[in-house]
Amino acid sequence: FVWMIYFTCGKQTISPKKTEKNVLFIIADDLRPSLGCYGDTLAKSPNIDQLASKSQTFLNAFAQQAVCAPSRTSLLTSRRPDTTRVYDFGSYWRVQSGNYTTLPQYFKSNGYLTMSVGKVFHPGIASNHTDDYPYSWSIPAYHPTSFIFEKKKMCKGEDGKLHANLLCAVNVTEQPGGILPDMESTDEAVRLLKTRVSDDTPFFLAVGFHKPHIPFRIPQEYLSLYPIDNMTLALDPDVPILLPPVAYNPWTDVRKREDVQKLNISFPYGPIPKDFQLRIRQHYYAAVSYMDSQVGRLLSALDELGLANNTVVVFTSDHGWSLGEHGEWAKYSNFDVATRVPLIFYVPNVHYAKWPTFRVYLPFLTENMVELVDIFPTLSYMSGLIAPEPCPDFSFQEELCTEGDNLDAEKVAFSQYPRPADTPQENSDLPDLKDIKVMGYSVRCWYYRYTLWLGFNPKTFQVGIQASHLPGKHENSLSLFCSAVCLGLRIRLH
C-alpha cells in the first residue's frame, strides 16, 4: 500500500462544474481511524481503503466535541459548540441558539432531493424528534426497526443465557427479523439509490451507521478476522500519573453493560483486566470490519447503478474512541484518540495528480489540520454549489454561514469538552448543560495538543476568562499560544 495523499482541494485548483453532483454522505458512529488506509496494520477495512485509494484522505481531521449530538449538530450546521450551545443531548439548536441552516437543508434549498438513513442527526430532542425534518430532508428520515433491540439482552453469555453485554457477537439468523440495524440501513439506502437512477434531480443521501458504537452487537463471523492471540493492548494502557483529573472521564456506559459489571472494576480509574481489554479491542475492530462491509455494499450499488461517476462520496465519523489508551474506554474527552476522526472525500472526475499545484505528503509529515465544521463549505463547493460565507464573530442571527474553512486551509483544529467538576464524577462523561462547571478547550497543531480547562457558567455561557468565544479567534491567548507553538515546531522540523 503506497501512501499518496494529495492535499489540494482548494478553490483555486478546481475548474468550475457545469452541473451539480449527487452526494453520498456516510457517517460512522464512534469510529476512530482504525482503518487500513490510515496505516492501522491490524484493521481489515478493504472497502473504505479502496474508496480512500481514489480519494483525498485527511489524516488529521478532528471533531469539535467528542460526543454524538454536539458533534453532529456542529458538523451539520458548520458551527462550533459554543455557537450551537449544544453540549449535551438535551437541546435543539433552532430553539437553543439560532435557526441555523444545515448541510442537507442547504442542498435541499438548492434543488436537491435530500434523504436520511440511520443515525445522521442525533435522534430525539437534539433534532426535535424528527431528525430535523422537514427543514433538512425532502422525505422523513429512515431508522432501522431492528435498532430497538440494540441495547437489550441479545447477547449469549458463557452461561448460555441472554444478557445486555458489551461484547455481543451474534448469530444474525437468530436475531429478531434475522437482521441487524446497519444491514437494514444499507438495504434502505440501496433501495433509495435505485429510485434515483432515471431521475435527473440531484440527490443528497446521508447514511449513518451505528457501528462501531457499543454494544458490539455484530455478526459473529467478523471476530474470526481478529484472532485473540493477534490482539495487543493500547500502547499507553495506564492512567498517566500526572494526568489532571478534570481531563479524565470514567466511561460509565461501558461499565453498565452486564459483562463489564461482573468484573467489579473500581470507579473511576479501573483498570479493566488485560484479557478483557484484548477482547474489547478485538470486538471493536470486528465492528469496524462489519461496518466496512456495509460501506462496500453501498459503494457497489453506486457503481452498479451507474451513479458513481457523478456522485461525491464523503466518509467520516462523529468522533473517535479510546480503546484503552490512558486507561479509558470511551469518547467524552479532549484526548486525541477521542477527537480524531477519519475523513475521506471522493470527487468523481477529478484527477488529483494532474492538478498543477499538487503536493504529496507522507502520512506523518502532513501538517494539515482539518475539522468537521469544514465539511459543509467544502462539500457544497465540491458538489457545484456556492460555499456559505464565513460567519461574523457573533452569528446567532445568521441562518447561513460557516465557522469552517475550505479543507485545504492552513490552520489548527479546535475541540472542546464540558465537565461537571474538576474531578471524575458519575456524570463526567456527559454532563447535562445545567451541571456544566468547566469547559476544556483543546487545540491541535502539528504533533501537539494543548488543552486549557476554564470555569464555565451554563446560564450565561461565559467562560472563566474574558474571551467568551475562544475557538477560532486569533485575538485570544489560547489561540496565540498555540499558533506560537505550532509555528515554532514547524520552523524546527522543516
Ligand X SMILES: *[C@@H]1O[C@H](CO)[C@@H](O)[C@H](O)[C@H]1NC(C)=O
Q: Quote the cell numbers at residue 136.
A: 433538512
**Cα(208)–Cα(118) distance, integer angstroms:** 5
Residue 483 exposed, middle or buried by CB count within 10 Å (0-12, 13-18, 19+):
middle
Q: 11: how many CB neighbours lie within 10 A of its CB? A: 11
Type and span of the H or E element at 389: none
Residue closer to ligand X (CB basis): 174 or 236: 174
- Residue pair 401/389 in contact (Cβ under 8 Å)? The answer is yes
- Residue pair 104/136 in contact (Cβ under 8 Å)? The answer is yes
Residue closer to ligand X (CB basis): 91 or 334: 91
Residues known to be catalytic:
68, 122
Residue closer to ligand X (CB basis): 50 or 175: 175
349 backbone φψ class: left, alpha, beta (φ>0; ψ -120 to 50): left
Query: To the nearest whole angstrom, how small is the minimum distance from the Cβ of residue 483 to ligand X?
Result: 36
Residue closer to ligand X (CB basis): 5 or 400: 400
Q: Which of 36, 58, 68 is nearest to 213 (CA)?
A: 68
State the DSSP code for 52: H
Burial 57-91 (b: 16+ CB within 10 A, else e): bbbbbbbbbbbbbbbbbbbbbbbbbbbbbbbbbeb
**Cα(375)–Cα(381) distance, integer angstroms:** 10
Residue closer to ligand X (CB basis): 263 or 480: 263
Q: Which residues contact 428 (CB under 8 A, 6 or more apart)?
A: 248, 249, 250, 268, 332, 419, 420, 421
Query: To the nearest whole angstrom, how small is the minimum distance from the Cβ of residue 230 to ligand X?
Result: 4
- Residue pair 335/329 in contact (Cβ under 8 Å)? The answer is no
Query: To the nearest whole angstrom, how small is the minimum distance from the Cβ of residue 92 to ligand X?
Result: 7
38 phi and psi angles, rounded to 5 deg: -100, 15
> Which residues of the chain form contacts with ligand X (CB under 6 A)?
94-95, 99, 128, 135, 171, 173-174, 225, 227, 230, 263-264, 306, 309-310
Residue closer to ligand X (CB basis): 276 or 361: 276
State the DSSP code for 75: H
CA distances from 197 to 22, 288, 312, 389 (A): 11, 30, 15, 33
Q: Which of 88, 92, 66 is nearest to 77 (CA)?
A: 92
